[in-house]
Structure 1
Amino acid sequence: METDRRRGRGRAVRLSAPLGCAMVVLAGCGAMPVTGDVKAVDASQPGDSQVQVYAVPPREGAAPLEVVDGFLESMTSDDPAFGTTRKYLTVEAARTWKPSEGTTVLAKAPNRNGPTFHDKERGTTETTYVLTGEQVAAVDAESSYRPLAPTEYSQLLHLVKVKGADGKQEWRIDIVPDGLVLGQSDFKRLYRSVNKYYFAAGRPDSAPAMVADPVYVRNRTDPVTRMDTSTQTVRTLLKGPSNWLRPVVDSRFPAGTALKSGVTSLAPDDQNVLKVPLNKKADKVGPGACRMMAAQVLYTLRDLTSARVGQVELQGGQGPLCSLRADEAEEFAPDGGSDAPDSQYFVDDKGRVQRIPGPSKGSGDPEPVIGPFGTGAVAMSAVGVARDELRAAAVSVSQQHLYVSSLASESELGAPAVTSGATKAADRLSAPSWDGRGDLWVADRDPSGPRLLRLVDGEGEPQEVAVPDLDGGRIEALRMSADGVRIALRVSEDGHTTLKVGRVERHGSGETGTVSVEDLRQAAPQLADVTAVSWSGRSRLVVVGKEEGGVQQVRYVQADGYTSPSGVLPGVNQVTAVAAADDEQLPLMADTESDGIVKLSPGDNWQTVLKEGSSLVYPG
C-alpha cells in the first residue's frame, strides 16, 4: 500500500470489522483482518471518532518523501506513546521530540514541498522538506484551543541518512518541530471538547460560582499518558486553569495535587460512585474545601455523558477524604438565578415590557411585567432582566436613557441611570446585560466618547470599564456570562462587526473597586460580520453572522472559538437578535424581520411565537 499526499491529502484504508469496529492502516502494509469490507478513505475527511488509526513503521529502504509522508500520517494515529511515529526520526530526535507541547491545526492536512534546490547540490546524505498549509487554530500544552484568522504555516523537516539495525543506510528525520501538526478534520476526529470547572475568584465560599474552562482531550486513550478520556479530563482539572482564565478563577485543589501514580482509568461503579485516588498533597484539606474539590470533579465529568457520575468520592493516601452527590453540587451553580425555569421577556409594539412564563417554554401567553416597564410609562426599545428576575433594566425608544426598575413590586419609574449624549440613536446605548453577581452592564456608543459601563448591583453611579485591547473598535452590543468573568462583545472596526470574548478582571469590591476587560480574543474569526450573540450554557455562545460573501447563518460556538461539526443550526430568515438560556433544554429564541419572534426547541424546527414584539431576552 503506497502513501499519496499529493495536494496535502493522504490515502488510507478503512477496515470495517465485525461488531461495528473499524481501523485505518496508514503508509505501508501490515497485518489485516481477512473479513469485512475494504475501501479507500481520505485521512483528512471527517471521520467517526470510533475509527482507530494504526501507525506502521517505515519500510526498509524508504525514500525521503515516503519517510516524511509516513511521519505525518503517523501523527494522526492512535500510536501508543507515539512509539511507531518516533521510528521515522533519528535516535536523538526521537528522544527529544515532544508531541505533547501543543497542536497546530491546519485547514487541511499539511502539504510538503522538497527537496530544496540547495539540498540537491549537497548529494544524497541529507535533504529538507517544507511543511506548508493554512493554520486556523492552535492548541497549547495546557490543551486550550485558540482559533486564528487563517495564516500561512511553514516548518522545516530535515532528513539525514543513518545506519539502521542491519547496517544499511536509511533516511530519518533529525530536525522536527515539537508538537503535532494536524488537519482540521483529523483534529476533530481525534479530540473532543470538555469543560473543566473552577471557582470565580473574589467570591466568598458562601456564594461560590463555577466557571467552565474548555480544553481538548483525546478520544479514547491518550497516546502519551495511556489515560482514558475521563482520566485525561480529571488530570487537566488538577493541573489548574488555562493561562487565559487563571487571573479570574481559583481551584480548591492544593498546589501539586495529582492523580495517584499509575491511575489511567476512572469509571463509576455500579452505584454510579466515582472514586478518585489523589496523591498526598490533598491529605490535609478541610471538609469544606474537600466538598468544593469534589464539586469541581462532578461538574467537570458531567459533560462526559458516558461517565454517568452520581457521586464523587475523593481518596487520599489514608483513605476517603470526602464525597459529594450530584444533587448536593447544585449549590455551586454559576448563574445566581431563580429556582424556577427562566421566563422570556420582550418589548411589545407599544414599548411595554412583557413576560412569557418560564414553565411554558416559550409557548405561553405574554403578560405585562409588574411595575412601570409593564405599564409603558416610558416606551422602551430593549430590555435586560436580572438573573433572579426581580429587577430589569430597559433602554428608551430613543436609545438615549437607561432605566432600572423592580419586577417584584409596583413603583414609579425613577430617573435614568445612564444617559447618552450622542446625536444619533444608533450611536447611543446598547441593550443592557446582567451578570451572575447582580451587576448591570451597558455600552454607550457615542462617537465622541464610547464607553463600557457597569452599575454595581444595578444601581449607583455608573463606572467606566477599561477595555485596553479594543484598538479603535467600538462596542456595538454585549452579553455577560452567568459566572461574571467573561463578556461577549460585538465590535465594529474596519467596516465589519466581529465577535470578541474578554476576561473580566475585578480589583477591590463594591463602588470603590475597579474592573477591566482584558485579553480580547476573536471568538468566531470565520465570520466577517456578526449580527447577534447570546450565551447558551456555561461555555457556549449562539452566534448569528455570515462569512465573507456568504449568507446569514446561526451557529453554536464555544467560548474559546471552537466550532463543532454539528454547530450550524437550521436556517431562519433575517435574524436581528438571538436569545438563549443557561438551561440548554429551553428553546433558542430569535427576532426576525419577516416572521416576528421565533423559537427553536431541541429536536424541532423554527416556529413563530409572536408576530409583534422585539428585543426578546432570557434573564441575563
Structure 2
Amino acid sequence: MIAATEAEADAVAPAFDPEGPAPGATPERILRDFITAGSGAGDGYSVARQFLTPELAQSWEPEERIVLFRSDPRVEKREAEGVYQIQLETTGTIDARGVRTNSPVPATETLGVRMAQVNGEWRIGEIPDGIMLAQSSARDLLLSHSLYFYSSNYRYWVPDARWFVRRTGVTARIVGAMLAGPAPYLQGSVTSAFPEGVTLARDSVPITSGTASVELSSEVLENATSLGLQQMNQQLQVNLLGLNDVTSVEMTSGQPIELGDPSPDLVVPELAPDVGGEQVAIAGNELVRVRNGAVVPIEGLPSVAESQPRDPATSVSGSAYAFLNAARTSLFVTAPGSQARAVAKGSALTQPSFDPDNWVWTTRAVGGRSEALAIPPGGTEANAAKLAAGWLGDRKVKELRISRDGSRALMVTDRDGVGEVLVAGITRSTEGVPQSLTTPLSLPTDGTIDTAKWAGQSAIVASSTGANEEATPVILQLNGEQETMAALDGVLGISAGSDAEDTFYAQAGDTLYRRIGNSWVDEQLAVVDPAFPG
C-alpha cells in the first residue's frame, strides 16, 4: 500500500534543500536564514527547527500561519538585549485551515523576536508560530485546492478555496480541513454531510489502485443513515477525485463502512452550473436576447418600453425576467405572456439578480444604509426577505450578484470613495427563505472597481467604468489570485457566463466587445446592459 500523500508530494513538490545555521552566525544572519529555511517542509521542517532553541523547536507550529511577503525582509535590533524585529511587506496570510487573506496594498507586518545563546551560538528563543514565504516562490511551495460543501438544499457543490503546503501528508490535511468545516464567510450558508466532531483517525490517506482509504473517527457512525453515509462518501469523492490520481474513495472506521443500496433521496449535486451562451440586454428600449452574435427579440414578451428598462436579468430557465426603470427607483418582473409588474421601489436600486429558485435580488438605500431585498417568485416587496447586514455599515452597495448555486452574494461596495469586492454567504431557513448575509470575504484589488460579475463558481470578473476612461478589467479568483486583462476604453458594464475565458463581455460605448485570449473583439452589437442568466 502506497501513501497517496507521499506519492503526490514526490510528484508535485519541488525539492527545497535549505541550509542550517552557519557556525558563529550573527542574530541578524540567523533570522534571515530562518526565513529562508521555512521553504523546506521536509521531515517536519527539521532544518528550520535548527535555528530555534531546543524548547521552542519542540513547540513551534510552522503551518499555524503563513505570511506571504514581497521585497527583502528587514531585520532590526531593538534597545532591549536580544530583542529583534522582522519587518515584512506582505501580500497576504494563510491560516492553519488554509484560508488565505490578501493584504491591501501596501501592507506591512512586524514580528517581534527574542534571541538566546545556546552553546555559544545564537538561536531564536521566541517568535510567533508560522513561516514566512516570498511571494515569488509561494506558487512552487503551496498548493491551491478547493474544498467542496453542499449548498443548503444539497443541489449544488459550493467551492471553498484553500492553500496547503506541498509536502507529505497534504491529502490527509485536505480531508482534515474539509471535516473541520467551511471558511468563516461560508458558515451557515453551506452544509457538510459529516457530523460535527468527526475527524481523521490517522494522519494519512493511503491509496491502493486509485482507491483512497479514509479512516474516520467513530463519531461518523453515530445515528448514521444510509442516505447520510452516501452523502458523506459523495462529498469525499468530490474533494479527492483527481488529486494524486484518486479514482474512488472508501470510508472506514475500524472496518470498511457499508453504504447500503443507493437511497432514492440521494441527489448528485451540480459542480459547475451552466448558464448557457445567451444574454439578455436592452435594445430599442426593449428586452432582447443576444445569441450567436445576433440580437433577437424575446418571443411572447410584451413591450416594456414605457418603463424605460435598464439593467435586465433573466432566470437560468429563461422563463422570467427582471429589470429596473431608468431612474433605478422601481424593480419590475415580467415573463412571456405576462405584462411587466412593479414588485419593489426604493432609492439607488441595483441591477436585479436571480437565484436558482427564481428569487429576485436587489439592494437599495434606506436611511443612509443599504439593505438587500429578495423577492420570492410571484411575490412583491410585501412578502420579500429584507437582509440588513450589520457589517455593511455605511457602505454604499453598487452591485449585488447571486452565485449560480444560490449560496453566496457577490457585492461591490463603496466606502469613503474606495471600491471593495466582497463575497458573503447567504443563510436560509429550512424552507429556503433568505435570512442573512454572513460577514464577507474581501478580495482586494489594485485599481478602482465599479462592477463585478460571477464567471463560474470560483472566478469573478471586475472592472472600473466610465465613458471617457480607460478600464483594465481583472479576473479575481476566490483563492486570492488575479489576472489582469487588456485595457479597453469607455467600459460601461461587463457580463460573464460560466467562465472567464469564453463568455466574458464588456459594453463599451454603444457596442459589445468579447474577450478572446487577452484581446477584445468588437461584436458590433448595439445593445446596452447585457447580462447572462442569474
Question: 1:388-537 to 2 correspondence within 5 Å?
Answer: 388-406=317-335, 409-413=336-340, 415-420=341-346, 422=347, 428-445=348-365, 450-457=370-377, 459-460=379-380, 461=382, 462-507=384-429, 509=431, 515-524=435-444, 526-537=445-456
**Paired position in structure 2 for 1:134:** 89
1:495-515 C-alpha deviation (Å, 9 max, x unpaired): 2332222232335646xx662
Structure 1 residue 86: deviation in Å?
Answer: 0.7
**Paired position in structure 2 for 1:559:** 478
**Paired position in structure 2 for 1:71:** 34
Give the letter aligned to residue 147 of structure 1.
N
Partners of 2:332 and 2:67 in 1: how far apart? Answer: 48
Counting matched residue pairs gives: 516
- Is 1:248–2:189 an aligned residue pair? yes
Partners of 1:321 and 1:473 in 2: how far apart? Answer: 51
**Paired position in structure 2 for 1:370:** 299
Structure 1 residue 161: deviation in Å?
Answer: 1.3
- Among 162, 168, 178, the alignment partner of 1:237 is 178
- Is 1:156–2:103 an aligned residue pair? no
- Is 1:288–2:227 an aligned residue pair? yes
Give the letter aligned to residue 227 of structure 1.
G
**Paired position in structure 1 for 2:5:** none
Structure 1 residue 280: deviation in Å?
Answer: 3.7
Partners of 2:141 and 2:305 in 1: how far apart? Answer: 55
| Percent of residue pairs bearing the same amino acid type | 19
**Paired position in structure 2 for 1:32:** none
- Is 1:298–2:220 an aligned residue pair? no
Structure 1 residue 319: deviation in Å?
Answer: 2.1
Give the letter aligned to residue 293 of structure 1.
M
Structure 1 residue 268: deviation in Å?
Answer: 6.1
**Paired position in structure 1 for 2:132:** 181
Give the letter aligned to residue 552 of structure 1.
A
2:155–2:267 CA contact under 8 A, matched in 1 = no
Partners of 2:360 and 2:65 in 1: how far apart? Answer: 38
1:210-241 C-alpha deviation (Å, 9 max, x unpaired): 2211111123x1xxxx314x443223212222
2:206–2:214 CA contact under 8 A, matched in 1 = no
**Paired position in structure 1 for 2:163:** 216
TM-score by length of 2: 0.86
- Is 1:572–2:499 an aligned residue pair? no
1:497–1:531 CA contact under 8 A, matched in 2 = yes
Query: Greater shift after overlay, 74-83 or 240-249?
Result: 240-249
Q: 1:345 to 1:506 in 2, by over 3 A?
A: same
Q: Which runs of no fewer than 5 residues in structure 1 stay unpaired?
A: 1-22, 24-48, 120-126, 164-168, 358-362, 423-427
1:425-477 C-alpha deviation (Å, 9 max, x unpaired): xxx32210112333211122477664421102362323321121122121111
1:381-418 C-alpha deviation (Å, 9 max, x unpaired): 11111123221111123333211122xx42223x3111
Partners of 1:514 and 1:374 in 2: how far apart? Answer: 31
Partners of 1:262 and 1:154 in 2: how far apart? Answer: 33
- Is 1:590–2:506 an aligned residue pair? yes
- Among 308, 311, 330, the alignment partner of 1:379 is 308
Q: 1:260 to 1:189 in 2, by over 3 A?
A: same
Partners of 2:91 and 2:505 in 1: how far apart? Answer: 30
Task: Give me the CA root mean square deviation.
Answer: 3.2
Q: Which runs of no fewer than 5 residues in structure 2 stay unpaired?
A: 1-9
Partners of 1:575 and 1:330 in 2: how far apart? Answer: 42
Partners of 1:329 and 1:78 in 2: how far apart? Answer: 41
Partners of 1:537 and 1:267 in 2: how far apart? Answer: 34
Q: 1:572 to 1:266 in 2, by over 3 A?
A: farther
Query: Greater shift after overlay, 395-404 or 312-321?
Result: 312-321
1:311–1:324 CA contact under 8 A, matched in 2 = no
Give the letter aligned to residue 204 of structure 2.
V
Higher RCO, 1 vs 2 (CA within 8 Å, ≥6 residues apart): 2
Question: Residue 366 of structure 1 aligns to a residue in which SS?
Answer: strand
Give the letter aligned to residue 436 of structure 1.
P
2:486–2:518 CA contact under 8 A, matched in 1 = no
Structure 1 residue 583: deviation in Å?
Answer: 5.2
Structure 1 residue 373: deviation in Å?
Answer: 5.6
- Is 1:144–2:99 an aligned residue pair? yes
Q: 1:448 to 1:584 in 2, by over 3 A?
A: closer
- Is 1:342–2:258 an aligned residue pair? no
1:515-564 C-alpha deviation (Å, 9 max, x unpaired): 2223134322x334202211122232111149xxx96322221336x124
Question: Residue 16 of structure 2 aligns to a residue in which SS?
Answer: strand
Question: Residue 519 of structure 1 aligns to a residue in which SS?
Answer: coil
Query: Higher Cα Rg: structure 1 or 2?
Result: 1
Question: 1:197-208 to 2 correspondence within 5 Å?
Answer: 197-201=148-152, 203=153, 207-208=154-155
Partners of 2:247 and 2:26 in 1: how far apart? Answer: 55
Structure 1 residue 350: deviation in Å?
Answer: 0.9
1:578-601 C-alpha deviation (Å, 9 max, x unpaired): 22223566421221227x212225
Structure 1 residue 67: deviation in Å?
Answer: 1.4
TM-score by length of 1: 0.75
**Paired position in structure 2 for 1:39:** none
1:324-356 C-alpha deviation (Å, 9 max, x unpaired): 99xx99831267x6xx76142232331222223
